[in-house]
Homo-oligomer: A and B are copies of this chain.
Amino acid sequence: MKKRISLTVAYDGTQYCGWQIQNNGKTVQGELNRCLEELLGCPVETMGASRTDAGVHALGNVAVFDTDSRIPGEKFSFALNQRLPEDIRIQTSQEVDPDFHPRYCKSEKTYRYRILNRRSPLPTERLYSYFYHYPLDVEKMQTAAAYLIGEHDFASFCGAGAQVKSTVRLVTDFTAGREGEMVYLQVTGRGFLYNMVRIFAGTLIQIGNGAYPPERIQEILGARDRGAAGPTAPACGLTLQGIRFFSGDRD
């Protein structure tokens, strides 16, 4: 009797070529499949909610797999953590409805982008933030962030190479704040385009440093052209904080 198990997965993306399995290069999904095969004695395919890029971190990505093992759902986290490398850790595991699919079920993802904003780089922050030397005006960044909340055509914030039918997405929350020397951007939305949060970050940095006024966001949105927005900020600053699923519905 097959059952579906859902895993909440945290990882340090520094050493990985992203989530999605590939032939050349170590991936989070690849490690997960390998450890599940080791545990269950047969090949296992996981399906992930978010295919995070190379170098992007996660506190709560979600993956499912099907198995006829008699291991109770909640025991998989412990069993997998015994086998996984220390830069991947299952936070929780549970049996879920066999219909639940983390990519197709309606959900809201929250990302955080961290910018270390001080005079000199700090070695102990270098792996999990983007170092930015020039002063950032967080209030201006917050004003700009507010323009991005809502349903918009985010074509200007979509990285090259993305193959999507529509570039319209719904951003439900976007906060810019500062905790000491760390500036953070936290954005929640229903689906994101390729590199969208990193282009948000690169653009908001240009606003925080005074290169553009916050109102420029409206023009950038209107342009529907990647060239209108700021650069793509580096992957190391980005963390997928978590995913909230709306039970039952599919997008």
- With a cutoff of 8 Å between Cβ atoms, the chain B residues found around residue A77 in the complex are 120
Q: Is A198 an interface residue (CB 8 A)?
A: no
Chain A interface secondary structure, helix, strand, loop or mixed? Answer: mixed
Q: Are the CB atoms of A120 and B81 closer together than 8 Å?
A: yes
- With a cutoff of 8 Å between Cβ atoms, the chain B residues found around residue A121 in the complex are 81, 86, 89
Q: Is A130 an interface residue (CB 8 A)?
A: no
Q: Are the CB atoms of A123 and B87 closer together than 8 Å?
A: yes
Number of copies: 2
Q: How close is A60's CB to chain B, nearest CB, in angstroms? A: 10
Q: How close is A122's CB to chain B, nearest CB, in angstroms? A: 6
Q: How close is A15's CB to chain B, nearest CB, in angstroms? A: 10
Q: Are the CB atoms of A239 and B10 closer together than 8 Å?
A: no
Q: Is A11 an interface residue (CB 8 A)?
A: yes
> Among residues 57 to 105 in chain A, which have CB atoms less than 8 Å away from a CB atom of chain B?
57, 59, 77, 81, 86-92
Instruction: Tell me the complex Cα distance, A77–B89, Å.
Output: 38
Interface string of A24-42 (1 = CB under 8 A from B): 0000000000000000000
Q: Is A154 an interface residue (CB 8 A)?
A: no
- With a cutoff of 8 Å between Cβ atoms, the chain B residues found around residue A92 in the complex are 120
